[in-house]
Amino acid sequence: MIGSIPQDRSLHCDLFSVLTHAFDADLTRIKELLKLGLSVRKIATLLGYTNHHAFNTYITKRQLREQSS
């Protein structure tokens, strides 16, 4: 199995950028709440998501959080 993977590809491909996620349905609302300054945990609770860790990973990977200067 390992021998069939091309050398230039790793086992941990970034499929996240290609796949759509369940959080995408609330994307505009997520962006609005982040602009208001709500924490990721509070947004996850407000939208009814049970796993705020996965939600935080989604926000980080999609770079939805504005950089503080």
Determine contact, residues 67/51, Cβ cutoff 8 Å.
no
* 37 in any annotated domain: yes
The predicted structure's pLDDT at residue 51: 87
CA within 13 Å, CB half, 21 = 16
Q: Given pLDDT bands bounded at 50, 70 and 90, which one contains residue 4?
A: low
The string of pLDDT tens digits covering residues 19-64 is 678 889 999 999 999 999 999 999 999 999 988 899 999 999 889 9
Is residue 9 pLDDT above 70, yes or no?
no
* 32 in any annotated domain: yes
- 């590809």: which residue's tokens? 9
* 1 in any annotated domain: no
Supply the DSSP string of 43-68, one letter for each residue. HHHHHT-S-HHHHHHHHHHHT-SPPP
Domain count, the chain: 1
Q: What is the pTM of this model?
A: 0.67
Residue 47 structural domain: 21-62
